[in-house]
Structure 1
Amino acid sequence: MRLSVTRSDLDEAIGALVGNFSIEALPKDTQKFDDLRDHLPVGTRVYVAYTSGSTAEIVDAAEKLRHQGMEPVPHIPARRFASHDELKGFLGKLAARAAVKQVLLVGGDVARPEGPYAASLDVLRTGMLEGHGIEAIGLAGHPEGHPGVAREALRNALIDKCEYAAKVGLDVSLVTQFLFDTDKLFAWHADFVENAAPGIAVDVGLPGLAKMTTLMRFAKDCGVGASFGMLTRHAGRAFKLATSFSPEDTLLELADGVRKSGRPIFRSVHFYPFGSFEKTAEWLRGLQSQRPARGQPHLAEAL
């Protein structure tokens, strides 16, 4: 249900979440614009998704992002690399051409490994990341669980990755799968994250301004169909389901939960545009630029 609040502390919570937002992009998204600084604040972390195309496209995208003042964060899907040399070559190009310092390390969405890495921890243990100048890694978080991995296995893997990262001096953060149900998010953070990796930075994944048909497909594929279904049960949202999704309500609920906790539980929000990169970027830039001033609407009212 849409929140109706205008308190300054809620404004502060919203501002903290969107003040350092990050966004997902396909390599082709970055090639559509002459200058991304017209669409995103300088320094924005832009996660470059690993597509079925060549890794050259990802390197090109990361290089363009770096040259235009963004912080490129390429995906490194462990199971997609056929050999150590392939991964080494990819990391080398990212370092040489885009000065990449951060990556998102994931297992990869293929049933069988295409090479020597069965899990993201296998890539981490090679030492190649820090060997190529990587200083920070993002790991995937699953507030609604993983459709193919048991909760205890996820917990043990997170602990192992954090222990290795600490040993070699890599910063670690979690980027969650996109979600709609903030109650599940807060429960997951309290029960799973605080026990497995207390104090780790968490970026909350939210959908961008995507078409509902596209969002429904991704929700099913990513295992968040249950929380997506809750949208249809809320009065006042039915008409939205026939057109497009907007993250306003979920962001308000998230900020309100953070406000009530009395502490900055999450570092920021991370947006998955699902084909609406430009629209989502413009919406975020506009929201981020709004700072409550005397006589001006609160951020909560602007959403």
Structure 2
Amino acid sequence: MTTRRKPSATSLPPSRATNHGSSAARSRLTLDGFSLEMTGNDVADLIKAKDVIPHGTKVNITYLGNEDLEMRAIAAKAVRSLGFVPVPHISARRLRSREQLEEFLDRLRDVGATEHVLVVGGDPAKPAGPYKDSFDVIRSGILPRYGVREVGIAGYPDGHPDISSDTLWASFEDKSASLKDQGLDSVIATQFSFDAAAVNSWINEVRTRGIESPIRVGTPGPAGIKRLLNFARRFGVGANAMVVKKYGFSLTNLMGTAGPDTFISDLSKLLTSEHRSTKLHLYTFGGLLATAEWAHKYSETHS
């Protein structure tokens, strides 16, 4: 993804979009209760990092096209056995049939990993089966039958290159309403961003629309700068010179690594006391162990 959309809060009245929280108490953003991300192939890395990850941490498990059912189930079981909370992804457009979705949920239930899931549309431009987007999976009513209690839905503070802002918001509200109607808890997990102001504006718009679900703001753990920018281009994250300079690195110097310290500090200054339900989700582009060690050090330094 290479297109950078304007922050959605430009549709708000100026007083809400620019001055929200100017007179309110600030909400200090910490790493308390952060979550992590891994693939089905990262079990060995998770074991190496287990001693520096807080007990009970939520660990999202991606649903990649080159991984099979058993690999995903083994990863979910490992997360749980190590004392963490597995949050398997369900990629709607990768599902070939309703039966495949039920088989996946049934296998997750076997390993005690269906309480928390995250439902995304997925990368394929053309659906492999009956689910064209995450809303189709959610409104099917299948999830609670397998013990799902909380469903994560995706948020896009930088917009989406293939989906209009109006469509994103309509779908977002539909998913939130459907989960509420089914008696399921919901949590919002955002795509990572380098732009704290855009994230803050997006959070304000979520709340203005009456959606009170907890929000997990995506940010990359420490990783190589070139690698970070490659992921940014892939996912449509804004990475212009001014934004990445605020993040702490330069587009003209791709050597070395960068961490999210600056982003977290900037976002913390913008959030208000109304945003106490905002936590961080760490994308492990630089590896699970490096991300976990950084988080441990950051927490100690800023405690």
- What TM-score do you get using the length of structure 2 for normalisation? 0.85
The alpha-carbon deviation at position 240 of structure 1 amounts to: 7.0
**For structure 2, which runs of at least 5 residues remain unmatched after alignment?**
1-24
**1:230 maps to what in 2?**
242
The alpha-carbon deviation at position 96 of structure 1 amounts to: 1.3
Letter in 1 for 2:229: M
1:218 aligns with 2:231: yes
Instruction: Provide the rounded CA distance (Å) in 2 between the counterparts of 1:240 and 1:246.
Output: 15
- Whether the 8 Å contact between 2:28 and 2:268 is mirrored in structure 1 is yes
The alpha-carbon deviation at position 41 of structure 1 amounts to: 0.8
**1:144 maps to what in 2?**
158
1:282 aligns with 2:297: no
Instruction: Provide the rounded CA distance (Å) in 1 between the counterparts of 2:83 and 2:244.
Output: 40
Q: Quick one: which of 102, 106, 111 aligns to 1:97?
A: 111
Distance change in 2, residues 1:190/1:249 (3 Å):
same
- Superposed CA offset, 1:177-198 (max 9, x none): 101111111111223x123343
The alpha-carbon deviation at position 161 of structure 1 amounts to: 1.0
The alpha-carbon deviation at position 28 of structure 1 amounts to: 1.8
**2:3 maps to what in 1?**
none
**2:4 maps to what in 1?**
none
**1:272 maps to what in 2?**
283
Instruction: Provide the rounded CA distance (Å) in 2 between the counterparts of 1:257 and 1:70.
Output: 30
The alpha-carbon deviation at position 241 of structure 1 amounts to: 3.9
DSSP-derived class of the 1:82 partner: coil
DSSP-derived class of the 1:13 partner: coil
- What TM-score do you get using the length of structure 1 for normalisation? 0.85
**2:187 maps to what in 1?**
173
**2:20 maps to what in 1?**
none
Letter in 2 for 1:155: W
**For structure 1, which runs of at least 5 residues remain unmatched after alignment?**
1-8, 291-297
**1:154 maps to what in 2?**
168
Distance change in 2, residues 1:228/1:147 (3 Å):
same
**1:3 maps to what in 2?**
none
Deviates more, 1:51-60 or 1:171-180: 51-60
**2:207 maps to what in 1?**
194
How many residue pairs get aligned? The number is 277
Instruction: Provide the rounded CA distance (Å) in 1 between the counterparts of 2:85 and 2:244.
Output: 36
Instruction: Provide the rounded CA distance (Å) in 1 between the counterparts of 2:278 and 2:160.
Output: 22
DSSP-derived class of the 1:204 partner: strand
The alpha-carbon deviation at position 158 of structure 1 amounts to: 1.3
**1:68 maps to what in 2?**
82
Deviates more, 1:31-40 or 1:21-30: 31-40
**2:33 maps to what in 1?**
20
Deviates more, 1:212-221 or 1:230-239: 230-239
Instruction: Provide the rounded CA distance (Å) in 2 between the counterparts of 1:235 and 1:70.
Output: 30
